[in-house]
Structure 1
Amino acid sequence: MRHPGTRWGLCLREDDRLIGTCGLFGWNAGWRQCTIGYELLPRHQGAGLMHEALQAAIGWGHEHRQLHRIEAIVHPDNQPSITLLRRLGFEQEGRLRDGARWGGRFHDMLLFAHIHTPAGAA
C-alpha cells in the first residue's frame, strides 16, 4: 500500500497559529522504514518544542505503522538539528556527498537513523 506521508502542524497550547511542522514521509512499507522531516520558526527554536513533537511522531510511527527504521537527513552545519536527533536516539550512519541541491550548488548531507527496539527485545 502506498502511503504519501503524514505531517503534523505545531502550535503553542495558548495559540492556534502554526509555528512549525514535522512529519514522516518516503515510506517503504515492506522495509518498515521512512524519513522524518521538521521545521520550526526561529523564535521558537531551543525551547524543546520540536523534541516533544518528534518524540510523538516517532512513537506514532512505531505504534501505528510498525516502523523499524526512521531516517533523517541534515546539513553538516546544522548543529542544533544534529544535537536534537542524537538526543532522540538517532545515530549518524554516513555522509551523502552532494546529497542535496539548493542555492545553485550541491551540498553534502549527513544521514542519521533511529532503529526501533521494542521493550524487552535484545
Structure 2
Amino acid sequence: MDSLDADKSGKVSATELLEALKGSGLDMDSVKDFIASIDKDGDGQLNRHELRAFFRDLAIDELMKSLDIDNSGTVSAQELLIALKGTGIDLEAVEKFIASIDKNGDGQLDRDELRAFFKEMGY
C-alpha cells in the first residue's frame, strides 16, 4: 500500500495505480474500472481495507482452485486431507476443522466460508 500511495494520503488513486503499473499496457479507463470493482466506499480510490480484501479474496480463489480437486465449488474433508498429506493430520481432525467453520452444515467448505474464516483470523 505504501509503495502505491505516492502522495501519502492513505488511499491509492487511479493516477497512482496507473503510475505503479506503468508498462503493463493498461490505460486509465481500465484502471478506473478495476478500482470501481473493489472500491467498497465508492470514493474512486482504494484504501488499505479495500486492498487487503481484494488480495485476501484473490488468495482464497487460488486456494479454492488448488484444494477443490473435483471442481465442485467446495472443499471436502478428503480434498483437504490430500492437501495436508504428510503433516500427520488425520481425517477426524480435518472433519472437526471443517465443522468449526462450515456455516451451512453441508460438511464441506465453500468460498464464502473460507473468506469468513480468514477474515475472522485477521487476514
Name the larger-Rg structure: 2
Task: Compare the two structures and name the one with the higher strand fraction.
Answer: 1
TM-score range, shorter chain: under 0.3
TM-score, normalization: structure 2? 0.21
Task: Compare the two structures and name the one with the higher helix fraction.
Answer: 2
TM-score, normalization: structure 1? 0.21
